[in-house]
Structure 1
Amino acid sequence: MVRPIGILAGLGIVTAVLWSLLWGAVAYIQSPPMMSAEHYVQHNLQPKKDISFSFDGPFGTYDNRQLQRGFQVYKEVCSACHSMKLVAFRDLEQIGFSKPEVKAIAKGWAIETPTPNPDTGEVSTRKSLASDHFPLPFANDIAARAANNNAIPPDQSLIAKARDEGPHYIYRLITGYSAQPAELLKKYPDVKTPPGLHYNAYFPNLNLAMAPPLTADGQVSYSDGTKATVPQMAQDVSAFLMWAAEPKLSNRHRVGWAAFVFLLLFTGLTYMAYQSIWADKKHKSE
C-alpha cells in the first residue's frame, strides 16, 4: 500500500514541475521581459574602450614611470575628494621615488593632530611624515556628502581590486562621461539623468554623483614630459590605483613562475627516480 502511494506522490510532483515549466515558457513567449535601460546601454550603446597595461597577463610587471605619472594625477586631481587611507607615503619608494622625494611629497600634505589644542579647542595640523598614511580629504562623512551631492567618494586604496576588471573598469569609467544618447531617451524616457548627476555608460546605474575628473588635455603637467591627454592621464591613474591595491603583483608573478619551474623540474626528477628504482624490479619479475 505504501509503494503505490509513494509512486502517485512522485508522479504528482513531476507533473506539477512540468506544468510550471510549461506555463512559465508560455508566459515568457507571450510577454517577454523588457530589457532594462542598463542592459540596453551595456549591449548597444557602450563605446568600445580596449586598453592594455604593462601588468596584464602572467608575465606582467609595473612600469614605474607610469605609476609615478598616475600618482601625480591622483595627487593633483583625485585626492581632493578620494582618500587612500591604506597607503603610506613611504610606500611610494616602491614605484621609484627616492627617500628625499618621498619626504618632500609628504610635506605637501597637512595632517590633523589627534587631539585639539587644549587652550583653544581647535584642531591643529602638522606636516605629514613619510610614515604617515595619505590624509583624508574630508573631516567626516557629513562634510564628504555636503561637498559631493550627498554621496561619499569611495576610498581608492583597494578600488582596483573591488571592481570587476579593476583598472580597465576605472579607465572606462573616467573616460566614459557623455551626454545621454537620444536613442536611449527615446526607448526609455524615464531614465533621464537627474539634475546634479552625470551620465556615464560604464557606471552600473548609468548616473553618478562624481563629475568628470579629467576634463581637458594638459590638466596635469607631467614632470617627465609625457603629453597629458585625457586617455593618457586616465590610463596612468588607473595603473597607479592598481598598484595601490596590489603592490606585490610583479613579485607574485615572479614567485609564481619560479614555483612553476621548480614543480616542473621536480616532477621530471621524480619520474626519472621512479624509473630508476623500479627498473631492476621489473626486470627481475620478468
Structure 2
Amino acid sequence: MVRFLGFGAGLIFVIALLVGALMPREAAVEDPIKKIHLYPEAARWQQDGPLGMGVFGTYDRAQLQRGFQVYKEVCSACHGLERIAFRNLGALGFSEAEVKALAKAREVPSLDPQTGEPSTRPALPSDHWPSPYPNEVAARAANNNALPPDLSLIIKARPDGKRYVHSLLTGYDKPVPQGFEITEGLHFNPYFHSVAIAMARPLNDEQVTYADGTKATVDQMSMDVTAFLHWASEPELERRRQIGVATLIFLGILTVLAWLTYRKVWAGVAH
C-alpha cells in the first residue's frame, strides 16, 4: 500500500512537471519605463582630453570656479560635499584669502566652550563643507521623505557619471509621454532610472551671474557644475595622470636601454 501511494505521488509529480513544461507561457509584460528611459547624451569636457584620451586632459580652472559658484548658490541648499575641505578649493585657483572668506561665510557645527551645548561657528579652511541638514531624518523631513545624496562622489557613483549628471540637470524640459502619469510630489526626468525624481528642476537660465561674463544658460551651468563635481570626486586626477605619463616614459626608456644592453652582452655569442 505504501509503495502504491509513493508511486502515485511520484506519477502526479511527473505529470505536473510535464504539463508545466509543455504549456505555453504567457508573454512577459514589458516594463513601460524602459520605453521612456533615456541614456545620457554625449558631452565632452576639457579633462576628457583630445579625442577622449583622458590621460592628456586637464581641468579648466575657469569652468571649475563657475561650477563651484553654481554648486554654492544652487545645489548646496540641499546637497552636501562632505569630502571636500575649504582649503581644497585653492586647487580651483582661489587665493588663500578667498578660501578663508569662503570658509568664514559658512557655519559649521561646534560646541559652546562655556556650556558644552551644541552650537555653530564660522568655518575654517581646514573644515569640510557642511551638510545643509543636521542628520538624515531632518533631510528627509525637508524633502518629502527623499534623501538628497551627498555630491562628493556622485560622478564616480553613477554609471557614465559626468554625462548622466549633465543629462539629468538638463532633462526636465522633456515632455511627459501620453498616458504616463507622474505621482504627486515627483517630477518627470527620462534620464533618471525610474523617470520620476523627487528633485524639482534645479536650474533656470540666468539663475546665477558669472563673474567672467559667461552667459548662464541651463546647459552652461550644467556643464560647469558637472565639471566641478568631477573635480570633487577626483581632485588628484591631473597629478595621477602626470605620474602615469612619466611612468610610461620611464618604462619606455628602460625597455630601450635593456634591449641595447642585451644586444651588447650577447653580441659576440654565436647562435
Q: TM-score range by the shorter chain?
A: 0.7 to 0.9
TM alignment of 1:34-183, pairs within 5 A: 34-42=29-37, 46=38, 49-56=41-48, 57-114=54-111, 118=115, 123-178=118-173, 180-183=175-178
Structure 1 equivalent of residue 222 of structure 2: 234
Contact kept in structure 2, 1:161 and 1:245, CA below 8 Å: yes
State the one-letter code of the partner of 2:228. Answer: F
Distance in 2 separating the partners of 1:153 and 1:47: 22
Q: TM-score when scaled to structure 2?
A: 0.84
Q: TM-score when scaled to structure 1?
A: 0.80
Residues 183-226 of structure 1: per-residue CA shift (max 9 Å, x gap)? 4x2xxx5xx21000011111111111111110x21100011111
How high is the sequence identity, in percent, across the aligned residues? Answer: 47
1:124 CA drift (Å): 2.6
Residues 95-154 of structure 1: per-residue CA shift (max 9 Å, x gap)? 1000000011111111121358729x5x43211111111111011212111111101110
In structure 1, the residue corresponding to 2:59 is in which secondary structure?
coil
Structure 2: gaps (5+ residues): 1-17, 49-53
Residues 16-69 of structure 1: per-residue CA shift (max 9 Å, x gap)? xxxx9xx69x96xx7553432232123xxx387321101112211101110000
TM alignment of 1:242-253, pairs within 5 A: 242-253=230-241
Residues 203-256 of structure 1: per-residue CA shift (max 9 Å, x gap)? 111111111110x21100011111111100001000000000000111111111
Pairing partner for 2:194 from 205, 208, 211? 205
Contact kept in structure 1, 2:40 and 2:164, CA below 8 Å: no
Aligned length: 248
Runs of 4+, deviation exceeding 6 Å: none
Distance in 2 separating the partners of 1:131 and 1:219: 30
Contact kept in structure 1, 2:162 and 2:226, CA below 8 Å: yes
Distance in 2 separating the partners of 1:251 and 1:34: 50
Distance in 1 separating the partners of 2:28 and 2:228: 41
1:272 corresponds to 2:270? no
Distance in 2 separating the partners of 1:117 and 1:196: 44
Mean Cα deviation higher: 171-180 or 110-119: 110-119
Query: Over aligned residues, Cα RMSD in angstroms?
Result: 2.3
